[in-house]
């Protein structure tokens, strides 16, 4: 069995200062996907990950202190693809992929549209690119596991107040329709595959004690190709883990 964890750390250095390394040591997943690392690997001591037995691969954004993704893996991948070859995506460090014998793992950080119309339009353009990228990729790598911060709540069950947030970026009809199209394109939202109950979120605003009140959004996902359905064991969310405004998500599968 493999356990894969995905975690938007909202700054890897900040998370480390909040005890992240000790938590990682105790949790000891096989693969970790980071989003929003907000650092270049030379800006902090990456040897702590090597000490814990991980190979580590980083794709920071060109802009300092912004975005960026990474993958930690106890087993050395056969191949690591940093970026996609598309500047729109790669300048902001949003996709990194690790290939193994019979599956590939992607850490993805979908843009947020919360800062205005320009970025919302960029988000829609990015989402169209990403779906096309995945469809082309699965020809050579059919067993895809795509974890990360999608910055979209799929359904009303995935957000604490769907009515008041109906016009909020991250819960717009166009975004939700895109996520439906993505899943209908032979992908599985693994958390919902196993867990149908409400009030399960992965991000909370720092304002108004949102986390303590569990006024959250489920915007982090572990998606897998339908081809891996028989390999799935369970998936979950770790709201008790607090190094970020997000919490980790996990997926267990036989691969």
Model confidence pLDDT, tens digit, residues 85-117:
999 889 999 999 999 999 999 999 999 988 878
Cα–Cα distance, 74 to 219 (Å, whole number): 26
Whether residue 207 is predicted with pLDDT greater than 80 in this model: the reply is: yes
Q: Does pLDDT of 191 surpass 90?
A: yes
Residue 10's φ and ψ, nearest 5 degrees, are 50, 50
| Three-class secondary structure of residue 90 per DSSP | helix
Domains of the chain listed by start with CATH number: 2-253 (3.60.10.10)
CA atoms within 13 A on the CB side of 171: 18
Percent of all residues in the chain with a pLDDT value above 70, rounded to a whole number: 100
Residue 241 has what pLDDT?
Answer: 98
Q: What pLDDT is recorded for position 117?
A: 87
- What is the per-residue pLDDT for 88? 84
Task: Name which of 47, 37, 41 is nearest 11 in CA terms.
Answer: 37
17-41: average pLDDT: 98
Q: According to the model, what pLDDT value does residue 114 have? A: 81
pLDDT at 212 over 90: yes
Token pair in block for residue 38: 């907000």
pLDDT tens for each residue of 114-139: 887 899 999 999 999 999 999 999 99
pLDDT band at 58 (very low <50, low <70, confident <90, very high): very high
At 154 the three-state DSSP class reads coil
203 Cβ contact partners less than 8 Å away, ≥ 6 residues apart: 8, 149, 216, 217, 218, 219, 220, 245, 246, 247
* pLDDT average, residue stretch 204-230: 97
Q: Return the C-alpha torsion angle 158, 11, 48, 100, nearest 10.
A: 50
On whether the CB atoms of residues 225 and 187 are closer than 8 A, the answer is yes
5: tokens are 């964890």
Residues 149-176: tens digit of each pLDDT: 999 999 999 999 999 999 999 999 999 9
Q: Give the pair of three-digit tokens for residue 66.
A: 């912004």
What's the pLDDT score for residue 36?
98
- Which residues are known to be catalytic? 149
Confidence band for 193, pLDDT divided at 50, 70 and 90: very high
**What's the chain's average pLDDT?**
97
Please, are residues 222 and 235 in contact by the beta-carbon 8 Å criterion? Answer: yes
Residue 187 has pLDDT above 80, yes or no: yes
DSSP 23-54: HHHHH--SEEEEE---S-GGGS-THHHHHTT-
- Give the pLDDT band of residue 52 (cuts 50, 70, 90): very high
107: enclosing H helix or E strand: strand 104-109
| Mean pLDDT of the region 13-40 | 98
Model confidence at 199, in pLDDT bands (50, 70, 90)?
very high
Instruction: Give how far Cα 61 sits from Cα of 131, 133, 195, 237, 247, Å.
Output: 21, 19, 34, 27, 22
Q: Model pTM?
A: 0.97
Which phi and psi (to 5°) does residue 19 adopt?
95, 20
Burial 178-206 (b: 16+ CB within 10 A, else e): bbeebbeeebbbbbbeeeeeeebbbbbee
């Amino acid at each position: 069995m493999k356990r894969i964890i995905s975690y938007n750390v909202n700054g890897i250095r900040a998370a480390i200062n909040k005890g992240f390394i000790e938590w990682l040591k105790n949790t000891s997943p096989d693969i970790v996907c980071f989003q929003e690392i907000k650092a270049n690997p030379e800006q902090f001591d990456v040897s702590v990950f090597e000490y814990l037995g991980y190979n580590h691969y980083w794709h920071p954004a060109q802009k300092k202190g912004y975005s960026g993704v990474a993958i930690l893996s106890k087993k050395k991948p056969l191949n690591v693809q940093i970026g996609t070859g598309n500047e729109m995506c790669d300048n902001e460090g949003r996709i990194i992929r690790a290939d193994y014998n019979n599956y590939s793992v992607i850490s993805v950080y979908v843009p947020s549209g919360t800062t205005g119309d320009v970025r919302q339009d960029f988000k829609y353009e990015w989402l169209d690119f990403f779906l096309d990228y995945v469809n082309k990729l699965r020809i050579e790598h059919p067993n895809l596991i795509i974890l990360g911060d999608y910055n979209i709540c799929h359904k009303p069950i995935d957000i604490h107040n769907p009515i008041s947030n109906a016009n909020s970026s991250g819960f717009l009809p166009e975004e939700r329709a895109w996520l439906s199209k993505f899943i209908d394109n032979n992908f599985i939202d693994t958390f919902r595959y196993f867990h149908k109950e409400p009030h399960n979120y992965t991000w909370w605003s720092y304002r108004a004690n949102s986390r303590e009140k569990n006024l959250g959004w489920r915007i982090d996902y572990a998606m897998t190709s339908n081809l891996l359905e028989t390999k799935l064991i369970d998936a979950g969310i770790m709201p008790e883990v607090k190094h970020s405004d997000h919490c980790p998500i996990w997926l267990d599968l036989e691969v």
